[in-house]
Every structure is written in C-alpha cells, then in structure tokens.
Amino acid sequence: MIEAIHQSMLNMALRCGEQFRRRYLENEVIPPGIAAGRGTGLHHANKVNLRQKIMTGVDLPIGDLKDAARDGFINSFKNGVYIPKDKLPEKEKLINDGLEDSIRCTEVYLENIAPEIKPKAVEEPFKIDIGLELPLAGTIDIEQESKVDDLKTSAKKWAEGQIEKEIQPVLYSLAHEKITSKRPLFKYHIMIARRGKDGNATSAGYDSQSIMCTDDHYSALISKMVVFIEMIKKGVFPPANPSSWWCDKSWCGYFYTCPFRGNGNQKKWI
C-alpha cells in the first residue's frame, strides 16, 4: 500500500510502471547496484560530517570521511548487490572499483563542497499535505538558510541543464517552501569519478547545477503526481519504452524476469 509520494517512486513509476509495481506494490526488492553503493557511501560521509558540523562549525578530516564512506558503501550491500549475469565473473573487481570511486567522490566533496556548507539540517525527513489524495514524503540531504543542497555521484559530467529535467529539485523545493514559507534555491553538487576504457580510475572532478523553481515547475510536478495517483487507483502500470537506456540489464534488476522483455523467471540476481 502506498501511503505517500516519494520522489524516488514517482521517478520510477514515470520511467517504468512495471518496475514500480514490482518494487513498491509486490515488495520485490532488488539489491542495489554498484553505482547506488557509490552514492550511498558519499551520502553517509556527508551525514557523519555535517551532523557534527552543526555543533562544531568545522569539517572532519579526510581520513574520518573516507572511513565513513567505506562504511556506508559496504553497509549498502548488506542484503546483496545487483550485478548483471554477464558481469558476475568481475564481481569482486566491480565492488572494489565502486568503493574506490565512492572514496574518490568523498575527497572531491571535502575539497569542493563541504567548506561552503553551513547546515541547518541534515537528512531531515518530511511528510506534508499539499491537498492531493496522498501526502509528499522524503528526506532532504542538506538544508541551509533558504537553500536546499543535494549530492550526486556520476561517472561523467552531467549534460548542461539536466537539473531542469529532474523531479527531485521541484519536489524538495515544494516541500521546503511548504514547511518554511520560503522558496529555496536548489543546488545539485555532482562528484565525478571517471574511468578509462580499460576500466581503470582516471580523473575525479566536481560540477554543480542550480535551479530556483517557479509556480510552473510546481504545477507540472502536481500534474505528474495526479497521474501517478490514477495509475495506483486503476492498477495500470505501463512498461518502459524498450529503447530507453534504463530498460537494460545493466540498470534494471527486473530485466531478466520482465515479461515485457520476453524473459522468464530468473534463479538468482547475484
């Protein structure tokens, strides 16, 4: 039963209704992939750092943050890790590379982001009523004075203006404004851990994208949420377009058992 709208489930439902149905209605949870673990490691390091920074005003040393990133990365796979079948022979290397990338992203974070952050709240959950049949809920990474920040990891530089296509900035801005009566600037901080064609680590970098949402952004989001609620009420969950990048075994843990790809039951995921 869906009790609130989270940005992650809204994203999933609009990309692939079948994936959403299996994950959130059938409770068929697939273990996270390596890229997800990379991000979880960074987020854990940020949480450890900023929660103490609220009290101390200073950032932790890089050694402490690396330890926190390692703990977050490893803990993210306590219930397993999703690796496509054809990549299973490389499982150990992929996990080690993912851990290395999470730590590299944490180094970029401490150098480029942490010093500018003056946190008011860190990973603060919210649940708000905006007049729909379901409330909005989630957890905001970082809240500053009239500003919301979110951390992302990537293997390459984001396309210019990508933030305009994302649901999360609008939903979190709406939630922040509803709670504080102030419309925030939303900023993505993007840590980039590049690898060459041979799979070896190359450079690491930092990029950012910001948006000040408008009433039009909010209206578009609400229209999406209305459709989302109708999907649930009617029990109709359209599959993804098979030509989309996320409808692929590398990104979707349901791929091998998806009836819309003509696949049968899978004996194991990892």
For 142-257, where are the alpha helices, taking DSSP H only? 168-180, 215-234
Helix and strand numbers, DSSP H then E, in the chain: 7, 5
pLDDT attached to residue 210: 98
**DSSP notation for 34-60:** HHHHHHHHHHHHHHHHHHHHHHHSSPP
Domain ranges of the chain: 120-237
Nearest to 239 by CA among 1, 13, 6: 13
How far is Cα 7 from Cα 221, in angstroms, rounded to an integer?
A: 10
pLDDT of residue 268: 57
Which amino acid is located at 246 in the chain?
Answer: W
Q: What is the predicted pLDDT for the residue at 21?
A: 97
Question: Phi first, then psi: what are they for 90, rounded to 5°?
Answer: -100, 15
The confidence score (pLDDT) of residue 262 equals 86
User: Does domain 120-237 bear CATH number 3.90.320.10?
Assistant: yes
As averages over each run of 10 residues, the pLDDT of the chain (270 residues) reads 95 97 95 96 98 97 98 97 93 97 98 96 96 97 95 97 97 96 97 95 97 98 98 96 94 92 66
CA 130 – CA 108 distance, rounded (Å): 37
* C-alpha torsion angle, residues 101, 109, 57, 171 (rounded to 10): -100
pLDDT of residue 263: 84
| Residue matched to tokens 């809240």 | 143
Nearest to 188 by CA among 215, 223, 229, 160: 160
Which residues are registered as beta bridge partners of 208?
189
- At residue 269, the pLDDT reads 53
